[in-house]
């Protein structure tokens, strides 16, 4: 190993140790099951917003966006725009009523609103599928980074992340995760910002070279086939999919009240906006200096060494590597907590809540790790985009119609979830296993949201109207609960799933 690799390995070790230590620091306060799940609602807005940012900025944001922007140009800027804008849609349409429902996971909401175990089970399966689809590329990217740095086989990096996440989640649960996540946001911001400053200085002393003449990179709608369709689909998936991501929703419950939740969202938008400016510049510089990179996902790692060079370059590479591992660890931890919560409550027949959560944690990490080894390595931001598309075509209609439309029926909800979620999952499978395909079919499969979201909404509405007898009996009371201000001290049902 050269000096560069050694300093990068040290950076990885530091990030891992820091994550474990901060996690252990939180153990003292997390003892009961409810501490594990919602951190007792005692987290302040800035901490919580940093934690949301830290959890949300995954390998796709840290590595993937810059890679896609390098390859396909300005169109890919819609990814960060949508990943930020989704929070606004979530805030305005869903967050307040959902907090009031007293249910803090998507399956809880589905059951509380529709009074049906069938809807709950379908929702649970979808949450787990979305979580695994999101986790898989995190492990793959960890493998890619670890291989780039040390030459180790690709499974090694994924295994490292999987083990650290499992240990961290098992030892601390949500409370410690909040502190880990908040720390990770600031680490990731620093890890991209400091190298960027040095790179821009180097670029300036280089005479600020621009793009090749005739490079259509900066022109809109030039990157991929059927760009208008693909962009519309991407916007729909990201804006509407954010509300259906299991690890995002749980965070809104760690605010003490609705006002704090709104303040948190404002801070989140600023934090994400600040962060997402940087991958765009990385992509631009990458297009100038490293246009023919073998794996564009690695551009963030290779660019600092290429541009700055020497010991400074090694140190900057180490910093970026540390930041990348922070990204893998934080997103994977948050997703693992959410997936394990659902698996532990709904899929395992274990009575002891804490023990069920532990078994579920192992399962939540193991399956995507196995998938990461077998599935083809598509660009990480594309795979994460597919997870958004599944969420937008299943949970977005369920949440929006569930909160705002009284006539939604059990049958309608199940049909819509199965139709939208099922078709989006099918498109994802075909793309991951056999793709990427070309032509119109390829575009429709690679960006399914533009057709699966309308289908899901339509099926839910039409089936609901056809089955008016299946409106849940207590819908009037549930609607009052959802829309009664939180300051009103009524019994919202200290919501617990029924034992089956």
Partner 1 sequence: MTTQQHDPSVYEQIGGSERFQELKRRYRSWAFPMTVAFLAWYLLYVILSGFARDFMGAKLFGNINVALIFGLLQFASTFLIAWAYARHSAAKLDPLADELRHEIEGAATDTAKDTAGDKA
Cis peptide before 46 (omega within 30 of 0): no
192 within 8 A of 323, measured Cβ to Cβ: yes
CA–CA distance, 183 with 16 (Å, rounded to integer): 12
**Which CB, 2 or 207, lies closer to partner 1?**
207
Q: How many CA atoms lie within 13 A of 149 on its CB side?
A: 30
Residue 104 to residues 152, 252, 379, 475, Cα–Cα distance (Å) = 40, 9, 32, 19
Expressed in angstroms, the distance from the first to the final Cα of the chain is 56
Query: At its nearest, how many Å lie between partner 1 and the CB of residue 88?
Result: 5
CB of 456 to partner 1, least distance (A): 17
CA distance 375 to 130: 16
With respect to partner 1, which residue has the nearer C-beta, 193 or 267? Answer: 267
- Residue 328 or 395 with smaller CB distance to partner 1: 395
Residues that bind partner 1 (CB under 8 A): 77-78, 81, 84-85, 87-89, 91-93, 96, 220-221, 227-228, 231-232, 235, 239, 258-259, 262-263, 265-266, 269-270, 273, 404, 476-477, 479-481, 483-492, 494
Of 361 and 456, nearer to partner 1 (C-beta) is 456
Q: Is 491 exposed, middle or buried (0-12, 13-18, 19+ CB in 10 A)?
A: exposed
Euclidean distance between CA atoms 492 and 482, whole angstroms: 9
The number of CA neighbours under 13 Å toward the Cβ of 345 is: 25
Q: How far is the CB of 248 from partner 1 (least distance, A)?
A: 15
Residue whose CB is less far from partner 1, 157 or 279: 279
Shorter beta-carbon distance to partner 1: residue 266 or 359? 266
Please state the closest distance from residue 196 (CB atom) to partner 1, in A: 19
Sign of CA dihedral 11, 16, 17, 18: positive
| Beta carbon nearer to partner 1, 14 or 77 | 77
Q: 90 vs 160, which CB is nearer to partner 1?
A: 90
C-alpha–C-alpha distance, residues 333 and 135, integer Å: 9
Min dist. Cβ of residue 79 to partner 1 (A): 13
Our CB check for partner 1 shows the closer of 223 and 305 to be: 223
Least Å from the CB of residue 242 to partner 1: 13
Closest contact distance (angstroms) between CB of 485 and partner 1 is 3
Among candidates 180, 193, 197, which has minimal Cα distance to 326? Answer: 180
Closest CA to 130 of 343, 354, 400: 343
Whole-number Å distance between alpha carbons of 152 and 57: 25
Closest CB 141 distance from partner 1, rounded Å: 27
């Amino acid at each position: 190993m050269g000096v560069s690799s050694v300093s990068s390995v040290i950076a990885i070790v530091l990030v891992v140790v820091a994550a474990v230590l901060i996690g252990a620091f939180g153990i003292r306060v997390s003892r009961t099951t409810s501490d594990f799940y919602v951190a007792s609602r005692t987290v302040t807005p800035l901490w919580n917003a940093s934690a949301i940012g830290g959890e949300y900025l995954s390998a796709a944001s840290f590595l993937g966006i810059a890679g896609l922007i390098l390859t396909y140009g300005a169109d890919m800027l819609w990814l960060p725009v949508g990943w930020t804008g989704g929070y606004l849609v979530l805030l305005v349409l869903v967050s307040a009523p959902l907090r009031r429902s007293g249910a803090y996971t998507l399956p809880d909401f589905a059951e509380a609103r529709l009074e049906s175990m069938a809807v709950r089970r379908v929702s649970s399966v979808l949450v787990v599928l979305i979580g695994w689809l999101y986790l898989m590329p995190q492990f793959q990217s960890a493998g890619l980074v670890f291989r780039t740095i040390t030459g180790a086989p690709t499974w090694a990096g994924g295994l490292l992340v999987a083990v650290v996440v499992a240990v961290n989640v098992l030892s601390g649960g949500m409370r410690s995760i909040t502190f880990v996540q908040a720390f990770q946001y600031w680490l990731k911001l620093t890890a991209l910002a400091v190298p960027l400053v040095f790179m821009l200085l180097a670029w300036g002393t280089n005479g600020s070279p621009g793009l090749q003449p005739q490079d259509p990179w900066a022109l809109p709608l030039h990157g991929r086939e059927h760009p208008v369709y693909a962009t519309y689909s991407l916007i729909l998936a990201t804006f509407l999919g954010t509300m259906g991501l299991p690890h995002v929703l749980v965070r809104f419950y760690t605010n003490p009240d609705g006002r704090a939740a709104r303040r948190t969202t404002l801070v989140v938008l600023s934090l994400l906006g600040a962060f997402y400016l940087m991958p765009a510049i990385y992509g631009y510089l990458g297009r100038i200096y490293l246009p023919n990179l073998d794996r564009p996902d690695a551009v963030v790692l290779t660019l600092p060494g290429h541009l700055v060079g020497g010991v400074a370059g090694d140190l900057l590479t180490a910093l970026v590597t540390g930041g990348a591992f922070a990204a893998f660890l934080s997103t994977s931890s948050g997703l693992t907590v959410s997936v394990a919560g659902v698996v532990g409550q709904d899929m395992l027949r274990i009575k002891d809540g804490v023990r069920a959560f532990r078994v579920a944690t192992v399962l939540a990490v193991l399956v995507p790790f196995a998938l990461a080894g077998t599935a083809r390595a598509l660009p990480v931001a594309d795979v994460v985009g597919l997870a958004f598309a599944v969420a937008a075509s299943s949970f977005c209609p369920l949440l929006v119609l569930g909160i705002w439309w009284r006539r939604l029926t059990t049958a309608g909800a199940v049909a819509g979830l199965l139709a939208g979620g099922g078709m989006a999952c099918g498109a994802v499978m075909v793309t991951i296993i056999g793709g990427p395909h070309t032509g119109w079919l390829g575009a429709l499969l690679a960006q399914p949201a533009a057709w699966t979201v309308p289908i899901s909404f339509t099926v839910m509405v039409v089936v609901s109207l056809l089955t008016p007898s299946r409106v849940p009996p207590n819908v009037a009371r549930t609607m009052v609960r959802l829309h009664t201000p939180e300051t009103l001290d009524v019994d919202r049902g200290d919501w617990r799933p029924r034992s089956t």
